[in-house]
Amino acid sequence: REQIFALSAALHHSESILLHASQILDAAATDKDEADTELAEAFPWDSRYNTNIPVIDGQHKLLLSYINKLHRGMQKGCDKKLLLEILDDLTGYAFSHFATEELFFSRTPYPLTARHIEVHQGFRKAVTELREAVLDDKAFIDIALLEYLKTWLVDHIQQMDVGFASYVTGTKATPKQ
């Protein structure tokens, strides 16, 4: 009974995150409509990224929208401060997303939990170091960074998240290591 209550609370929290994400995506779509039409979305969502866990898929879509927002900022020539704010929003939301995934891990028999958490920690460390390097003018927010973020997200979804999703959805496909 306690587990059901905890899961219900976690799902309620996730639902509120999705509502917030939906509002941000709606605002982004409005901003995009108002933006210059030549600023196409660099990294569109693809149905191949679906895990079939609505809260996780919604968070993944929002993460990709932050990468696209960062790309649009670069195209428009935004200053370093604004680009850092967008990067901070992206990474802060990524960290929150990882917490959601890790909550699911704790409620399933997913065998790669420890490895998956290590991967999350590695990403946290990498983006924190990258942010510091940008602040110190030792790195720049450029297309290589955007490609890294997009590739990391897509690879992570397709190689790890799909594996844990199968434990949540009950399909239990063999996760890739």
Q: Is residue 47 situated within a structural domain? A: no
pLDDT in tens, 71-105: 998 888 888 888 889 889 988 999 999 999 999 99
Q: Count of CB atoms within 10 A of residue 38's CB? A: 6
| The pLDDT of residue 52 | 93
Range of the domain at 70: 2-33+54-169
- Asked whether residue 162 is domain-assigned, the answer is yes
- What pLDDT, in 10s, does the model give residues 114-131? 999 999 999 999 988 888
Residue 175 pLDDT grade (very low, low, confident, very high; cuts 50, 70, 90): very low
Residue-wise pLDDT tens digits, 127-144? 888 888 888 988 888 888
The CA radius of gyration of the chain, in Å to the nearest whole number, is: 17
Please list, in sequence order, all residues whose beta carbon lies within 8 angstroms of the beta carbon of residue 94, skipping any fewer than 6 positions away. 63, 123, 127
pLDDT reading at 109 higher than 90: yes
Distance between CA atoms of 133 and 130, rounded to whole angstroms? 5
Q: Is residue 100 part of a domain?
A: yes
In a domain, 122, yes or no: yes
Smallest CA-to-CA distance from 58 within 102, 8, 27, 24 is with 24
Per-residue DSSP letter, 108: S
Residue 145 lies in a domain: yes
Q: Determine the pLDDT at residue 47.
A: 92
Q: Is residue 76 part of a domain?
A: yes
The predicted model scores a pTM of 0.74
**Is pLDDT above 50 for 106?**
yes
Mean pLDDT value across the chain: 82
Whether 77 is covered by a domain: the verdict is yes
Residue 11 belongs to a domain with what CATH number? 1.20.120.50
Q: How many helices (H) and strands (E) does the chain have?
A: 6, 0
In a domain, 177, yes or no: no
Total tally of structural domains belonging to the chain: 1
